[in-house]
């Protein structure tokens, strides 16, 4: 099932959290993205608040070549990078993958050339989601 919001897109997958997380990593790599940051939200809530939470990981994905192009166009772009990809279990036991929409995020900057870079990132991320 496809999911779309004003700031993200993704889908629900009928597979285990671990399997989907691993598949996301593989598909990101195929599209030229590395995972620069990783936050296990479940572990952090347990550690910091002593509270249980669902399986939920935030992967900060970045394509070095596209990031290079973006920095050349807008030096402050680092405030909007990397592109977050989340994988989590929903209340019905499905695994959800959501990707920050780079066109929406970078659209707040009035720079048409940067919009072209964002569109390239979005196209690659759409392929990642489609492969799941």
Q: pLDDT-based confidence at 1, cuts 50/70/90?
A: confident
* Whole-number average pLDDT of the chain: 96
CATH architecture of 2-130: 2-Layer Sandwich (3.30)
| DSSP tag of 7 | S
Asked whether 100 and 7 are in contact (CB, 8 A), the reply is: yes
Q: Which residues contact 94 (CB under 8 A, 6 or more apart)?
A: 12, 13, 14
Rounded CA separation 13/94 (Å) = 6
pLDDT digits (tens, 9 = 90+) for 40-89: 999 999 999 999 999 999 999 999 999 999 999 999 999 999 999 999 99
Q: pLDDT-based confidence at 20, cuts 50/70/90?
A: very high
Percent of the chain with pLDDT over 70: 100
pTM for the whole thing? Answer: 0.94
Whether the per-residue pLDDT at 6 is higher than 80: the answer is yes
**What CA–CA distances, in Å, run from 57 to 6, 88, 89?**
21, 6, 10
Q: How far is CA 75 from the centre of its chain?
A: 21
Half-sphere exposure of 19 (CA within 13 A, CB side): 7
Q: Tell me the domain boundaries of the chain.
A: 2-130
């Amino acid at each position: 099932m496809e999911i779309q919001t004003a700031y993200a897109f993704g889908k629900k997958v009928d597979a285990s959290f671990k399997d989907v997380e691993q598949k996301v990593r593989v598909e990101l790599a195929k599209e030229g993205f590395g995972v620069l940051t990783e936050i296990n939200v479940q572990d952090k809530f347990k550690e910091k608040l002593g509270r249980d939470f669902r399986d939920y990981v935030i992967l900060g994905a970045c394509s070095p070549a596209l990031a290079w192009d973006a920095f050349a166009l807008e030096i402050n772009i680092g405030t909007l990078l990397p592109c977050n990809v989340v994988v989590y279990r929903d209340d019905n036991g499905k695994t959800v993958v959501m990707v920050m929409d780079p066109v929406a995020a970078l659209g707040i900057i009035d720079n048409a050339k940067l919009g072209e870079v964002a569109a390239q990132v979005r196209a690659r991320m759409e392929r990642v989601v489609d492969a799941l």
